[in-house]
Amino acid sequence: IDVACIGLQYQHRALVMGELERIGYKVMSEVGPIFDEYRAIYNRAKVAFTWSSRKDTIARVFETPRMGCALVTNQTPDLGLFYTPGRDCLTFTDAREAIERIEGLLQDETARNAIALNGYNAAAPHTWTHRAEWLVKVFKDDVPAEAFNYAMLSELERVKK
């Protein structure tokens, strides 16, 4: 599998995946795979493609690098809190740019492997377990609501280092 995008195939996602398939790349773009099948697909994919329809950082942005994929995702307002674009993932602003980024990674194995490894390492502190442990600590320490955002940003800066 060259490129995988599992999830709802909104028009913008389908446009990119359809064009990549038309060019001749092997793509996997479905809604149904979950659990082991989901992991098996991404473990075989060279590139994980995500495009958040709400401009938020979605779970696949953390999951797919940990499965060894080079991540190509749209730029979201908070993505920089978790990754350094250009090092840990590649970003885009439109379909044409997404296709260019994906093709570039598929044609350059060294760059693809570097992005995949950097993304793998950058995503390590962002597991569900880490988030749950952090939330338990925050609420156990009875952090006031107005300090919650500051505490969250401080934690993100800590794990990014």
**Residue-level pLDDT at 133:** 78
Instruction: Pick the closest to residue 90 from 68, 100, 81 (CA basis).
Output: 100
User: What is the pLDDT at residue 15?
Assistant: 93
13-51: pLDDT as tens digits? 889 999 999 999 999 888 887 888 888 989 999 999 998
pLDDT digits (tens, 9 = 90+) for 133-147: 777 776 676 655 555
- Which of these ranges, 12-16, 87-91, 127-131, 153-157, has the smallest mean pLDDT? 153-157
Query: What CA–CA distance (Å, rounded) separates 148 from 161?
Result: 20
**In the sheet where 90-92 sits, what is the strand order?**
27-28, 3-4, 47-50, 70-74, 90-92
Distance between CA atoms of residues 53 and 76, nearest Å: 10
Q: What is the pTM of this model?
A: 0.81
Identity (one letter) of the amino acid at 62? Answer: F
The mean per-residue pLDDT over the stretch 63-91 comes to 93
On whether the CB atoms of residues 89 and 63 are closer than 8 A, the answer is: no
pLDDT score of 157: 64
pLDDT exceeds cutoff 60 at 84: yes
Whether 160 shows a pLDDT value over 70: the answer reads: no
- Per-residue confidence (pLDDT) for residue 38, from 0 to 100: 85
The answer to whether 98 touches 72, Cβ cutoff 8 Å, is: yes
